[in-house]
A and B are shown apart, each in its own frame.
Chain A
Amino acid sequence: MSVMAERRAGAKQRRAGMSLRPAATLTLLCLLAALAGTALVALTVGAAGIPLARLPAALGLWADSAANPLLARDQLVVWSIRIPRIAAAAMVGGLLAVSGAIMQGLFRNPLADPALVGVSSGGAFAAAAAIVFTDSHLGGSLRFLQNQLLPIAAFAGSLVTTIVLYGIASRGGRTSIAIFLLAGLAIAAIANAGIGLLVFVADDRQLRNITFWMLGSLSGATWTKLSALAPVLAAALIACLSIARGLDVLVLGEAEAFHSGVDVERLKRISIVLVSAMTGVAVSVCGVVGFVGILVPHLLRLVIGPAHRLLLPASALLGAILLVGADTVARTIVAPAEMPIGILTAAIGAPFFLAMLLRQRGLVSL
């Protein structure tokens, strides 16, 4: 395995404190190829198995097999269920990983993650509130508005949470890691209490919707939801490249970034809006999926280094790979039932986070 070999070589260099970075284009091409491979596997497995041989026909690449009775079913499964779901998983994974990477750059703290510090919970709380509110206050004729309202509510919830968190954790241009994590914990607790209250007042139908948000699942992916995700992802990725250098220099601290010519206030505003928009939209599609934002950028920094111009697009790709893979496992491991993907990412991510915390014990001082 070349990746393993690369990791081992990387680890050796790290022990010596040396860093040689692989070429940017090569990294992105490898990640793209891996994403295509993962998506291909995800297309073929599931409740209705579609072997690789039948896949081209199912995709409609050639239509000479009209006699095949399985074709119609295959095409339905692939086009209405699997492709939207895989695309949603890829986009959500990309959004979560990039928003994690931006948040870590903004707080100069590799332990930041939108789900961990309550930004996702804030979004989920606002989404749950929107479900309960629209259900009881909008007439049946207006209920279709719910679909439009949810991403906006989730974004607003995430935005408020991020701003409050930044206000608490950073003082005089410095961000305290301990205060940041503890404040995030408290904010997540407040948001979760709010969700609990909504669960308490919700009726059965609302309850099902809210539970979906709390556990996280991609089963609700449709072409309509994809159309909300895609523009946000595209806009965010373009915006990311404009803040990449600023985030690099921000590692020196706010004062030093200003001395280096970075408009720090503008950079912070853009970053906060980006993190909130990306997390909010991801939450509105699949609920709270944690640890992608912390796992992906950290793994990448070990191999390609911390420079954001490469880290951000690479995070989008690896995040997509991770979530497509995790979703495939989630929908096959207990088939025909389906495991909420949030449980799966937490099961992988939480021990990893603990391991990181142990390695960095020196950095976290109260």
Chain B
Amino acid sequence: MSTLLEAQSVSMTVGGAKLVDAVSLQIDAGEMVAIVGPNGAGKSTLLRMLSGDLRPSRGAIRLRQRDLHAYGPRELAQRRAMLSQHINVTFPFTVEEIVRMGAGESPRAVTRALVEAALDEVGLSHFRFRQLPTLSGGEQQRAHFARVLVQLACGEALHGPGLLLLDEPTSSLDLRHQIDLVETARRRAARGTAVIAILHDLNLAMRFADRILLLHRGRLAADGDRTAAMQADTLRKIFEIDVTIQYTGAGVPFLLPQTMRPASQAT
């Protein structure tokens, strides 16, 4: 698979504090990557830099061998889609209107099927005429996910495999919809999309990601597949909690927190 996104030693400094410190990574088309790490590790900052929303203080990011900031907003939107956290819609747009926003200026006749498919995929077809602000937090999150899927599909129709960035996409979702969402993202990855998602649920990350980036105090503490990146020692140190890693019958690792006390006192 070809490299879609490349970050070279990117840093972000705000008011003397280094939020992200010299992170380098390469993401290939078709890869599903999870970013994990404790609160304040710089996950969202890194993701916002990868989306082109924030300009790194140092280092460069290239999307398809071209500098990220050389793209205009519309060009960029056709090549990467991003779902932010905490989107607060104040006007009474319906779910369908919100989802259709993902299609940009594309004519409605072209995008109707995409909107239908995305609504169906997130299980909100029956809510299409409901006003978004009247839905629950989780339902709103799914509607925004559908919008981002439409944007991704419109862009991929024009320029081939794109980049899908998700900032804690499962934070308001119940268990079933968490699984639905990551499985939907996996299906996109299987078709060539590069997916990068910030996940707080380490088990979800281990279950669904091809590759895990572990971020700690702005630095990349580990980068590899689930067994390489998720070493119990590293996790104990970074999350300051005792954990054991066990395996299901099928050999899939899962994580069990042992105690809430810091690891140093737990021995």
Residues of A at under 8 Å CB distance from B? 14, 17-20, 108-110, 245, 248-249, 251-253, 255-256, 258-264, 301, 305-307, 363
Contacts and interface: CB of A to CB of B under 8 A. Distances in A.
B81 interface: yes
Interface string B87-100: 11111111001100
A258 B73 contact: yes
B51 interface: yes
A249 B104 CA distance: 9
A109 B90 contact: yes
A301 B76 CA distance: 32
Given A252-B87, A307-B97, A259 B81 contact: yes
A255 B84 contact: yes
A307 B93 contact: yes
A205 B242 CA distance: 83
Contacts of B88: 253
Contact of A245 (B84, B98, B105): B105
A251 B143 CA distance: 14
B80 to A, nearest CB: 8
7 contacts: A17-B131, A17-B135, A19-B129, A258-B52, A260-B151, A261-B74, A263-B74
Nearest to B90: A108
B72 interface: yes
B33 to A, nearest CB: 18
B89 A262 contact: no
> What band does the interface of chain B fall in when counting residues whose beta carbon is under 8 Å from A?
20 to 34
B78 interface: yes
A17 B130 contact: yes
A262 B73 contact: yes
Contact of A261 (B48, B73, B93, B144): B73
B51 A259 contact: yes
Nearest to B103: A260
A263 B77 CA distance: 11
Contacts, number: 82
Nearest to B89: A251
A110 B90 contact: yes
**Majority secondary structure, A binding face:** loop
Nearest to A297: B91
- Shortest 5 CB-CB contacts between residues of A and residues of B: A261-B77, A17-B134, A306-B91, A261-B74, A259-B82
A251 B104 contact: no
Interface string B158-172: 000000000000000
B101 interface: yes
A263 B135 CA distance: 29
B201 interface: no
Given A261-B78, A262-B73, A255 B104 contact: no
Contacts of B94: 19, 305
A110 B76 contact: no
B218 interface: no
Task: Name, among A251, A261, A263, A264, the residue most crowded by chain B CB atoms within 10 Å (CB to CB).
Answer: A261
B93 A306 contact: yes
A245 to B, nearest CB: 7
Nearest to B53: A255
Given A255-B53, A256-B84, A261 B90 contact: no
Contacts of A17: 130-131, 134-135
Nearest to A104: B91
B84 A259 contact: yes
A301 B92 contact: yes
Contacts of A363: 90
Contact of A249 (B48, B78, B101): B101
